[in-house]
Structure 1
């Protein structure tokens, strides 16, 4: 399991395939909150722009430098993003 304390604000998040997923706003519990400007990536811009999405920390494969690498591909990670609940 990855040390969650290694995940810092403004780190890039990429899928296992290197595809960009977003940017870390902060860690909240067991989820990574994405910045609002990256939260609409892969979503319908009119319904998903301007608010935060979250990714489960369980998807983290590792932290390398300023990048959080996920165990899922970028496209699959975007499909697994959650909204605030």
Structure 2
């Protein structure tokens, strides 16, 4: 994704289907760090998750659009340790 510099804090991250996946905290290396408020439920709640920049298809206005639908994109999320969720 050659447009990583266009990704800014507080942008919405949405799937190809428009479903909300998260909110950008910041870009770290080749991943988007999502805010803790979008960390999910149960054991996944309360810590940051990451989306690999390779899943980004476009940056449109205040949205980061992913190449996968929202329900699929969340299966690619990683925790801070680098493990898949």
* Unaligned ranges ≥5, structure 1: none
RMSD, matched Cα: 0.8
Structure 1 residues 53-80: Cα deviation after superposition (integer angstroms, max 9, x where no partner): 0000000000000000000000010011
Q: Does 1:76 align with 2:76?
A: no
The equivalent residue for 1:33 is: 33
Question: SS of the counterpart of 1:76?
Answer: helix
Question: SS of the counterpart of 2:32?
Answer: strand
Whole-Å separation in 1 of the counterparts to 2:18 and 2:2: 18
- Contact residue 36 and residue 53 of structure 1 kept, 8 A: yes
Whole-Å separation in 1 of the counterparts to 2:39 and 2:31: 14
- Contact residue 53 and residue 83 of structure 1 kept, 8 A: yes
Q: How many residues align?
A: 81
* Unaligned ranges ≥5, structure 2: none
* Structure 1 stretches of 4+ moved >3 Å: none
Shift of 1:46: 1.9
Whole-Å separation in 2 of the counterparts to 1:34 and 1:8: 11
TM-score (ref. length: structure 2): 0.92
TM-score (ref. length: structure 1): 0.92
